[in-house]
Amino acid sequence: MSEPFRIAVIGVGRIGVFHARHVQELAKERGDCVLAAVVDGHGDLAERVAAELQVGQEAAIGVFSDVEELLAADAVDGAFIASRTENHYRDAKTLVDGGLRVLMEKPLTHSLETAREFAAYLQADDFRRTALMQAFMRRFDAPLLYAKGLLDQGVIGAPFKIVSVLEDPLPPPEGYNSSGLLSDMAVHNIDEILWLSGQLPERVAGFGSLLYNQRITDVKEDFDDALLQMYFPGSLIGQVTVSRNHVAGYRNETWIYGPEGVVHVGAFGADPLLIEVEAIGRSGMIDRRDFALRDYGADVPVFIMRFGPAYKAELAYYIERCLSGAPFNVDHGDGLRALEVAVVGSGAVQGREEVKMIDFFECD
């Protein structure tokens, strides 16, 4: 048997530590990968997390303060980047320059200018062009994949409206760094709509507000509540609703409207571990299926409770593509396009413009 694919997790804060645990789970289940290192320059966090994770595996987990130190040690074959947004560009470029293919959390970078610069850098070389996988875990979520299958089967006809809703019950944790509500929080919803529709919007409009959340947190953002509307070629529109103000719990839903019915994914209810997918037509129910989510325990972030299995599935896909040398089906181009929509949408909201056109950067 060949040596396992050695993975580092870069940034082991509230989401990075779950990525590290998923690496360990896949290592036990598949045997073709191993958590080889954790990297974090914030105090002694890397040492503490490595000590906790070491209990779950025999192979030693290296501890590093930055990606340069990691590369110098020649300790890994790939990496999952979950560092702060402002460090994404530097961390990813350093690792790619070092010959690694990486999986990176959203958004692509902290600004549209740097994202386009990074995309141009990746596009300029055959290896770099396939070196980055953008971590849009919704594309690996079983309920959403099932819904997409219903769309591909044409059960409701060609969609004319897709609505993606994300509402958090609590503010971000203390010290959280946000590039803006749309680019930080809504970028997943935007990519979901682009993925489901298979199209790019031509223009966007929207509005935002500062409501309740900003009164109870020290984390400052441009808005804590926003709606973005995307206009696609033809008659399709996409709507994204994001909010920090759903104080009763975590709401994450998708509605897809077609001439023959509606497909609905998710529900806000008493059982957060049960996700519904329904296709309802003019004459009643077309299809319905319930998806039981994994119980990670009561103390996990709400997004892990909802999308934990999807995060694990995208990691498994990343490993498989790295081992086979195949390109990723979600890459820097997808990350850039979602960020472009978010940033242009934020500009439309802040400038109170009715509609703003999107000029997408050319990505192969």
CATH class of 5-137+313-330: alpha beta
227 pLDDT above the threshold of 70? yes
Boundaries of every domain in the chain: 5-137+313-330, 139-306+338-357
Task: Look at the block and give the residue holding tokens 């950067």.
Answer: 361
Q: What average pLDDT score do residues 204-209 get?
A: 90
Least confident of 80-84, 189-193, 295-299: 295-299
Q: What average pLDDT score do residues 164-182 get?
A: 84
In DSSP terms, 134 is beta-bridged to 104
Identify the pLDDT of residue 216.
87
pLDDT band at 64 (very low <50, low <70, confident <90, very high): very high
When the pLDDT of each residue in the chain is averaged and rounded to a whole number, the result is 93
- The pTM (predicted TM-score) of the whole model is 0.94
| Distance, CA of 299 to CA of 293 (rounded, Å) | 15
Q: What average pLDDT score do residues 201-222 get?
A: 88
Identify the pLDDT of residue 248.
87
Q: How much of the chain exceeds pLDDT 70, in percent? A: 98
Convert the pLDDT of each residue in 281-329 to its tens digit: 999 999 999 999 999 987 888 899 999 999 999 999 999 999 999 999 9
338 pLDDT above the threshold of 60? yes
139-306+338-357 maps to which CATH number? 3.30.360.10
| Equal CATH topology for 5-137+313-330 and 139-306+338-357 | no
Q: Is residue 114 within 8 Å of residue 343, measured between CB atoms?
A: no
174 pLDDT above the threshold of 80? no
Convert the pLDDT of each residue in 118-129 to its tens digit: 999 999 999 999
Identify the pLDDT of residue 222.
85
Strand order in the sheet with 225-231: 284-292, 274-281, 261-265, 251-258, 161-167, 237-243, 225-231, 203-209, 356-357
Identify the pLDDT of residue 354.
65
Identify the pLDDT of residue 162.
98
pLDDT band at 353 (very low <50, low <70, confident <90, very high): low
H/E/C letters for each residue in the chain? CCCCEEEEEECCCCCHHHHHHHHHHHHHHHCCEEEEEEECCCCCHHHHHHHHHHCCCCCCCEEECCHHHHHHCCCCCEEEECCCHHHHHHHHHHHHHCCCEEEECCCCCCCHHHHHHHHHHHHCCHHHHCCEEECCHHHHCHHHHHHHHHHHCCCCCCCCEEEEEEECCCCCCCCCCCCCHHHHCCHHHHHHHHHHHCCCCCEEEEEEECCCHHHCCCCCCCCCEEEEEEECCCCCEEEEEEECCCCCCCEEEEEEEECCEEEEECCCCCCCCEEEEEEEECCEEEEEEEEECCCCCCCCCHHHHHHHHHHHHHHHHHHHHHHHCCCCCCEHHHHHHHHHHHHHHHHHHHCCCCCEECCCCCCC
pLDDT band at 45 (very low <50, low <70, confident <90, very high): very high
Q: What average pLDDT score do residues 165-179 get?
A: 82
Q: What average pLDDT score do residues 156-164 get?
A: 97
pLDDT band at 361 (very low <50, low <70, confident <90, very high): confident
Of 13, 16, 114, 10, the residue nearest 67 (C-alpha):
10
The two three-digit tokens of residue 343, written as one number = 């940033």
178 pLDDT above the threshold of 80? no
Residues 6+ apart with CB under 8 A from 59: 34, 35, 36
